[in-house]
Amino acid sequence: MSPAARPIDEYRAFYRDRRVMITGGLGFIGSTVAHHLVALGAKVLIVDSLIPEYGGNLFNIAGIEDRVRVNVADVRQQSTMNYLVRGQDVIFNLAGQVSHIDSMQDPYTDLEINTRAQLFILEACRRYNPSVKVVFAGTRQVYGRPDTLPVTEQHLVRPTDVNGINKAAGEYYHLVYNNVFGIRACSLRLTNVYGPRQLIMHNRQGFIAWFIRLALEDREIQIYGDGSQLRDFVYVDDAADAFLRAGAIDGSNGEVFNVGGMEPIAHRDVVELLISIAGTGRYRFVEWPPEKKAIDIGDFYADSSRIRCTLGWQPATPLATGFRRTVEYYRAHLHHYLPAADSPVSAL
């Protein structure tokens, strides 16, 4: 049965014995997708450059390391991509530079990874595997400051930073290759994904993982402004399920989808919930740093009705449940995510 004809609720069966490649597969979301795919019987190839600052971590595949293949390679290497895409049924394209601050300080690296490398992958598919399905990890950052809430996919694409511009370009390349060259592709515009296996070594890849680390180490969390800004949050297993659906169902081809949380919540309420679950940590309100205020988008929460109607996806994990699972995971494995010199007291 073709993916187009398969009922939405049978998408998981699609992956048995399928050859699936995950770029950025040792990172946070990519490794979670890998765990799901292994459980579904897929033949998984993980491609990752293992650049520590970007979140690649071999411990992220603990428990499945003997059931996946790992190729340590950089998506910026065209010849490597030409070879690796061959024979794959689905490519989950999650390799990227995701730090907004880093993109402003080093825009050329962000351009190379989030734009030029995306062309390398798509050209490799066009030349060596035109029947493959590609699911791109997009971001809500492409919208910039919302005009209306909740934000739908019809909102103008108007990024406020270099990362958003390059991610938008990478996304549009996927859509062009779908529409012009017939490479089936789509993009998931992710909003504030959190959970186990996320990079917590520094605070440049999203505030929520950093807040989790500070709470676990019983340190002070600094909330910018009055903490009233609204966000929605997606637990990583829910985000992985969105990727699985998009990869298996051809109704996603040529589309972009918001992947948002259950409901918006203010930063201060997020922090209070996290501290209450962790039982450690404290917080204080501080002024916005100018470099972060300049690219902040204000309130944001997504309308995910398109992906619900097209692919049957909706968030399933309440924030409190996701926080409990995440806190438990890092309490058990924190030393795998921090350099030895940076490790907290062993009493966790």
Query: pLDDT tens digits, residue range 267-293?
Result: 999 999 999 999 999 999 999 888 778
Residue 98: what pLDDT? 66
Residue 90 and residue 68: Cα distance in Å, rounded?
15
Q: Residue range 318-341: average pLDDT?
A: 92
Whether the per-residue pLDDT at 345 is higher than 50: the answer is: no
Average pLDDT, the chain: 92
Which tops the pLDDT comparison, 298 or 348? 298
Phi, psi of 235 (to 5 degrees): -70, 145
Per residue, what are the HEC states of the chain? CCCCCCCHHHHHHHHCCCEEEEECCCCHHHHHHHHHHHHCCCEEEEEECCCHHHCCCHHHHCCCHHHEEEEECCCCCHHHHHHHCCCCCEEEECCCCCCHHHHHHCHHHHHHHHHHHHHHHHHHHHHHCCCCEEEEEEEHHHHCCCCCCCECCCCCCCCCCHHHHHHHHHHHHHHHHHHHHCCEEEEEEECCEECCCCCCCCCCCCHHHHHHHHHHCCCEEEEECCCCCEECCEEHHHHHHHHHHHHHCHHHCCCEEEECCCCCEEHHHHHHHHHHHHCCCEEEEECCCHHHHCCCCCCCCECCHHHHHHHCCCCCCCHHHHHHHHHHHHHHHHHHCCCHHHCCCCCC
Query: Does pLDDT of 45 surpass 50?
Result: yes
* pLDDT score recorded for residue 44: 98
Query: Which domains, and CATH codes, for the chain?
Result: 8-195+233-259 (3.40.50.720), 207-230+263-301+318-338 (3.90.25.10)
Residues 218 and 297: their CA atoms lie apart, in Å, by 29
What is the pLDDT averaged over residues 309-337? 97
Residue 205 has pLDDT above 80, yes or no: no
How does pLDDT run across 79-116, given as a tens digit for each residue?
999 999 999 999 999 987 766 677 688 888 888 888 89
What's the pLDDT at 340?
A: 64
Distance CA 177, CA 334 (A): 41
Peptide bond into 130 cis (omega under 30): no
**Per-residue pLDDT at 85:** 98
Predicted local distance difference test score (pLDDT) of residue 100: 64
Residue range 150-169, pLDDT digits in tens = 999 999 999 988 889 989 99
Question: What is the spatial distance between Cα 36 and Cα 244, in angstroms, rounded to a whole number?
Answer: 9
Res. 144 pLDDT band, cuts 50 70 90: very high
Say whether pLDDT at 348 is over 50: no
Structure confidence at residue 218 as a pLDDT band (50, 70, 90)? very high
pLDDT of residue 346: 32
Angle at 41 between CA 333 and CA 63, to 5 degrees: 20
| Whether the Cβ atoms of residue 28 and residue 200 lie closer than 8 Å to each other | no
Report the pLDDT value the prediction gives residue 62, as an integer from 0 to 100: 97
CA-based Rg of the chain, rounded to a whole angstrom?
19
* Contact between residue 228 and residue 267 where contact means Cβ atoms under 8 Å apart: yes
pLDDT in tens, 164-183: 998 999 999 999 999 999 99
Kindly report the pTM of this predicted structure.
0.93
At residue 103, the pLDDT reads 66
Check whether 347 has a pLDDT greater than 80. no
pLDDT tens digits, 125-136: 999 999 999 999
